[in-house]
Amino acid sequence: MATAPRIWEKLETIDARIIYLILWIVILWPFIYPIGLPVSIGSYSLAYAKAIDDLPAGSIVVVSFDFSLGGLGELYPIAIATLHHLFTKPVKIVIIAIWSDGAIVADMVLKDLKPDQPPYNRKYGEDWIFLGYAPGGETAMAALGKDFWSTLPTDYYYKKHVSTYPIMQNLRSANDVTLLVSLETGTPGADEWVRQWYVPYKVPMIVGCIGVMAPTVAPYLAGGQVKGMLPGLRAAAEYELIIGRKGLGVASADALSTSHMVFVIFVILGNISYFMRRRSK
Amino acid sequence: MSVELFGVLLGVFFTLAVYTFLYRENPYSRIAEYVFIGAATGYGIAYDLDWLKNQWVGTWSKTMEDSILFVLALLLAVLWYFRFSKRYFFLYRIPLAITVGTYIGLALRSVVFAQVIEQVRSTAALKVVGIDPWTAFNNLVTMIIVVCTLAYFTFTVRQEAAFWKPVNKFARYAMMIGFGSAYGYTVLTRMSLFIGRVQFLLGIPPNPPEAKMFFPWVALVLLGTLLGYDYYKKTKK
Amino acid sequence: MSLLRRVEIPIAITIIFALIQVIPYFVNMGPAVEATQDKVVRWTLIVSTGALLVGLTSLLLIHVPRVTRRRTHWEYSLLLIAFMFLMTIIGLPFPELNLGLTGYWFSFFYNNVLTPLSASLYAILAFYITSAAYRAFKARSLEAALLLISGTILVLRNAPLGTFLIPQIADLGDWIFNIPNMAVNRAIMIGGGLGAMVLGIRVLLGYERGYLRGGE
């Protein structure tokens, strides 16, 4: 019987590399042998999609890429799905970045989607525009809210003055914006947008964020400052199902299941070994 | 090998080089770490220079007055450099003071509305009568948690009276349940980010499909050399 | 020169620049003042871009001596400096020379070097969080048990398999998110907001000087 506590002790001090290896295996496995579990859809994802569906024709939507490349795994599927959804609607889309990495990702997403080509056929400068990165964080948000033309005077791709594009004729300040979509990994993000765009201009906002951010956005959701939220990869999968375009989010669903389940098993095992060892003492 | 293909190979190499750190610190992980810091800094500088040029061309070069203001701003921007000089440190404080002043002013004018008034108003507006019992219960719980948690973090009052003890205890329990949410979402994020890298390594669209071809070979070379070196060192002893 | 060294000067600058943003926001002072206020914000952005100099200089101050004195790991420092200059040079805003953010080589390096490195470095935490949870996430007290139970429910809620096996976990997870989590975060937000206001007022009154510390 004396061996029993030793087993629990050993289990508690297991080489971390074994845990790492197991995690590698359980995440790789479902990509090689997919399970295809259904993904139930949450209310926030529905609200996020509805905010875009309800946009009147001709509305100006500002999509801000407020994230670092570190958030790519969660936000890339959200960004692709959101822009796809927007490009299928008769609205004007202005893409900006408050984080410098955000400009890279926006460029990647746009190169993947190719909005100028079918099925979208949206004209650059008329239906959409990419203005690039505005440094300064919250200060840049405030400056953009006041004056788009002066804060981002040229576009990202052609370096032409924004006044030469038809889409920019109706966009001078945040007062002209119907919806703000912030795709974000941290600060500056929702807090700052609410401070600089919701408080003075009452611009409605939806947020696609990494999971870590979700709990801090919750008070804005409950208070009505944020209309909808996609927190992380699970929500990305839900949103892809809502808009009928399966992508990286749905493809990740099985790996999300296996990794989370293994995580829970590790927590349970860790607690069992802890209590067994404590009891034996 | 085309340049594009070589690019994918680089991407696979750097991804796996980072993960070799899980085995132990090694030259591959160090290469990844140092290249990342260098490239990220260079990238940031390039973006700032691009933005500055656009500002000059698009906005500040239009009038003489604006041009002078732009040059003055650039001169002040250079003063950041004196952060590293003990003697001229006072010069560094000038751009810092301008930036902090504007930032504080911008935040100060709206933080009270966004974070205090709106949130207090949303809490006070919650109904507990005349609605269905479940919503009433949830609203009541919300209000009690908000008040108790705020009280818990009130340090300006000495919390010695008997009624503070259950209030603080309840706040602590509520926070622990609430933080469970943060914990769950943190796990989601960490797993998702790694899943994203696995999707890249397996070449799942829109990732380049060639990555799948390089992945096993690069993994084999990196792991093989590390394990081989460790085995060699062990047998040499 | 000695006058310039006085800490009161940057304090005065901070107060003036803060007031430029605060006063016209609450008191209607006409479009001319508003335009100036807006211009000051954009002008500050140009001043603040120089902050990157601090990062650049700090890196060079650490890594250049390492290379010149051949200290441990100097080869890696050389690599760091090389990539820093490489990215800066190929990103210089001269599209006519095929340089700049939309240039071929800048795209090549950010796609194939910066993106995989950045994304992978952040993603490595998945391993550490799992290992840490296994070792340290134990129900050692009632508070820890509550966090453990609530956290596990949320982990299961975020896994499609969790909601598939126990459909009620979605409602329970959402309740935790919408009620206790939201309420706690709201209280923290109100507290943080009040703290930020107090900090702002202290700065305006010149009491807060921590950010100006340093030098001789």
Residue A137 predicted with pLDDT over 70: yes
- Say whether residue A74 is in contact with chain B using an 8 A CB cutoff: yes
* Mean pLDDT value across residues A164-177: 96
Hey, are the CB atoms on C125 and B106 less than 8 Å from each other? no
Interface of C with A in 140-159 (CB under 8 A): 140, 148, 152, 155-156, 158-159
Hey, are the CB atoms on B101 and C13 less than 8 Å from each other? yes
Q: Encode burial over C4-38: b for 16+ CB neighbours within 10 A, e otherwise.
A: eeeeebbbebbbebbebbbebbeeeeeeeeeeebb
| CA dist., res. A87 & res. A107, Å (int) | 15
Interface of B with A in 135-194 (CB under 8 A): 178, 181-182, 184-189, 191-194
Cross-strand bridge partners of residue A95: A63, A130
In a domain, C191, yes or no: yes
Interface of C with A in 50-79 (CB under 8 A): none
Sheet holding A60-66, edge to edge: A128-133, A92-97, A60-66, A179-184, A205-209, A226-231
Q: Which chains touch A (3 or more CB pairs under 8 A)?
A: B, C
CA distance B126 to chain C (A): 12
Do A205 and A198 touch, CB atoms closer than 8 A? yes
| CA dist., res. C157 & res. B97, Å (int) | 46
* Mean pLDDT value across residues A179-200: 93
* Location of structure tokens 């260098």: B38
Query: In which band, very low, low, confident or very high, does the pLDDT at A33 lie, cut at 50, 70 and 90?
Result: very high
Do A205 and A225 touch, CB atoms closer than 8 A? yes
Residue A2 predicted with pLDDT over 60: no
Tokens at B92, concatenated? 């560094």
Query: In which band, very low, low, confident or very high, does the pLDDT at B19 lie, cut at 50, 70 and 90?
Result: very high
pLDDT digits (tens, 9 = 90+) for B114-159: 889 999 999 999 999 989 999 999 999 999 999 999 999 887 777 7
Give the closest residue to A91 by CA, choosing from A156, A15, A181, A158.
Answer: A181
Of B114, B187, B194, the CB nearest to A198: B114
Residue B108 predicted with pLDDT over 70: yes
DSSP C125-147: HHHHHHHHHHHH----SHHHHHH
Tokens at B175, concatenated? 């926070």
* Mean pLDDT value across residues A189-204: 94
In a domain, C98, yes or no: no
What is chain C's pLDDT, residue by residue, as a tens digit (216 residues)?
577 778 889 999 999 999 999 998 888 888 888 889 889 999 999 999 988 878 888 999 999 999 999 998 999 999 999 999 999 999 999 988 889 998 999 999 989 999 999 999 999 999 999 999 999 899 999 999 999 999 999 999 999 999 999 999 999 999 999 999 999 999 999 999 999 999 989 988 888 888 787 665
Q: How far is CA B62 from the centre of its chain?
A: 37
Residue of C nearest to A12 (CA): C135
In a domain, C86, yes or no: no
In a domain, C170, yes or no: yes
Helices A72-87 and A43-53: crossing angle in degrees, nearest 10, is: 40
Specify the 3-state DSSP secondary structure of C25.
Answer: helix
- Say whether residue C182 is in contact with chain A using an 8 A CB cutoff: yes
| CA dist., res. C24 & res. C174, Å (int) | 42
Give the closest residue to B145 by CA, choosing from B125, B163, B171, B124.
Answer: B171
Do A230 and A78 touch, CB atoms closer than 8 A? yes
| CA dist., res. C122 & res. A57, Å (int) | 39
Average model confidence (pLDDT) across chain B: 93
Neighbours of B176 (CB within 10 A): 23
- Say whether residue B57 is in contact with chain C using an 8 A CB cutoff: no
| CA dist., res. C85 & res. B15, Å (int) | 22
Q: Encode burial over A197-227: b for 16+ CB neighbours within 10 A, e otherwise.
A: bbbbeebbbbbbbbbbbbbbbbbbbbbebbb
Give the closest residue to A100 by CA, choosing from A65, A70, A61.
Answer: A65
Rg over alpha carbons for chain C, rounded to the nearest Å, is 26
Interface of C with B in 166-185 (CB under 8 A): 173, 175-185
**What is the domain count for chain C?**
2
Give the closest residue to B195 by CA, choosing from C204, A72, C43.
Answer: A72
Give the closest residue to C122 by CA, choosing from A78, B192, A80.
Answer: B192
* Location of structure tokens 């200059």: C85
DSSP B56-109: IIIIITSSHHHHHHHHHHHHHHHGGGGGG-STTHHHHHHHHHHHHHHHHHHHHH
Which pLDDT value is given to residue B102? Answer: 94
Determine the residue among C19, C181, C199, C212 to mutate to test chain B binding: the one whose Cβ has the most chain B Cβ atoms within 10 Å: C181
pLDDT above 90 coverage of chain B, percent: 79
Residue C192 one-letter amino acid: G
Residue B78 predicted with pLDDT over 90: yes
Do B108 and C22 touch, CB atoms closer than 8 A? yes
Residue C169 belongs to domain spanning = 138-205
Give the closest residue to A214 by CA, choosing from C173, C134, B108, C133.
Answer: C173
pLDDT digits (tens, 9 = 90+) for A40-98: 999 999 999 999 999 999 999 999 999 888 888 899 999 999 999 999 999 999 999 99
| CA dist., res. C78 & res. C68, Å (int) | 10
Q: Following CA atoms A191, A192, A197, A203 in sequence, which dihedral angle do they give, to the nearest 10 degrees?
A: -30
* Mean pLDDT value across residues A168-189: 95
Residue A1 predicted with pLDDT over 90: no
Backbone angles phi, psi at A13, to 5 degrees: -110, 30
| CA dist., res. A261 & res. A240, Å (int) | 23
pLDDT digits (tens, 9 = 90+) for A213-244: 999 999 999 999 999 999 999 999 999 999 99
Cross-strand bridge partners of residue C63: none
Residue of A nearest to B114 (CA): A195
Which pLDDT value is given to residue C119? Answer: 92
- Say whether residue A71 is in contact with chain B using an 8 A CB cutoff: yes
pLDDT digits (tens, 9 = 90+) for C39-80: 999 999 999 998 887 888 899 999 999 999 999 899 999 999
Interface of A with C in 197-216 (CB under 8 A): 211, 214-216
* CA distances to A31, A147, A256, B34 from C34, in Å: 56, 11, 50, 46
ipTM of predicted assembly, 2 dp:
0.91
Residue B161 predicted with pLDDT over 90: no
Q: Please confirm whether the linkage preceding B216 is cis (ω < 30° from 0).
A: no
| CA dist., res. A262 & res. B36, Å (int) | 31
